[in-house]
A and B are shown apart, each in its own frame.
Chain A
Amino acid sequence: MSQQVYLSSSPHIHSGGSTTKIMRAVIYSLLPACAVAIFFFGLPALFVLLLSVLGCLVCEVVCQRLMKQPVTVSDGSAVVTGILLALNLPPSSPWWMTLLGAFFAIAIGKQIFGGLGYNLFNPALVARVILLISFPVQMTTWSKPEPLSTGLDAVSAATPLGEWKTAVMLTGRMPESLQGGTWDYLVGNMPGCVGEVSALALLAGAVYLFWRKILTWHIPLSYVASVVVLSGLFWLVDSDKYPDPVFHLVTGGLVLGAFYMATDMVTTPVSAGGMVLFGVGCGVLTVIIRLFGGYPEGVSFAILLMNAATPLIDRYVRPRTFGVARKGVLQ
């Protein structure tokens, strides 16, 4: 034999999966939501999407060059962050805010921790929350959807959750305008962030990810179930004041959060039990912040808080080893 053989430890075959393939699948799954967003919010939404993705890509290249690390934008993770960030911004976001968001997401949310796989918090949410706190006005200026519009002067309106919070603070009751809008909310015909509005498009993408075995049921199901249970409890206690669980499910980016943001692999626990605990924690926090917190929207904060708890969850929640008697889940 003239050519040397390769030697490695076993195994000698591979399933064929790769990080890039996973990122690519996530990008595909987000395309329906992007399409719907552009349909309802027009060119401004497209602008935000493109700026965010480009900003993230450029920021990652610059950061990695500065840190003398190999440039890894081709793995697609910066693109995913860019799309997710854009979906979390209002469609009327000024260009400079979008770019700042991209910077926060990649430089602060990801690269300073060491790059892909090392960040503690979901980068897109880190950026969103920094922007929310720094620029509260721009981050809460919502537009009423104008299907296929091209203009930038959309009509401002409040999100359903924002309307509810204001109404409850003033009157202690659910406003009539919010009742019966479920279909609109499901389809995306409501004011809100670029991506949070069309639950249907997002769910379609999620189904694709389940089929590709990139998403597992643990986090989405436990997140959604705990939201339903907790909000349902409050609604049963006082249905005049508190919205029903379905309202919670279709508004405020819960679908985006439960299926795309809370399921970010890097920042969530690795064990099945840990993931369920994570999802439940997100759900409980989301409902509490929405109903009793200072912000109308709780998904972003809930997920970031649970991201912080992930190392602790991973430390204490471990699967039962084969051949070891169960003494309770916690060790």
Chain B
Amino acid sequence: MQIDNRTLYIFSFIIFLIGVYGAITNRNLFKILISLSIMETALNIFLVSLGYISGSKPPILSSGMKTISPANINISDPLPHALVLTAIVIGVGTTAVGVGLAIKLFNHYKTLNINRMGDKDEL
């Protein structure tokens, strides 16, 4: 089955919106962090799909190919893949920091419900 690029874009955008929805509606801190991760995933899909050309091959030199010229081959752009790798690493880092903070907050307030994390007392 061949997937159109546009389908991928819309798909990633929908996932992004799901992430935003989660970040808004959830009360649990962990769920918010997970929503943020979902947003990042959507982004990664978007980036990967940027380099994808419908019906193309992976950008690997196979044995039959001596030279690469735009006229005769049909491979997808490798650069976004590399970018996505970096983005994933960074996303993991951010999530890790966020989880660390969440644990700290849980120890402090004994709850993960963000509505109950006191505000007035510290103003």
Q: Do A and B bind each other?
A: no
Residues of A with Cβ closer than 8 Å to B? Answer: none
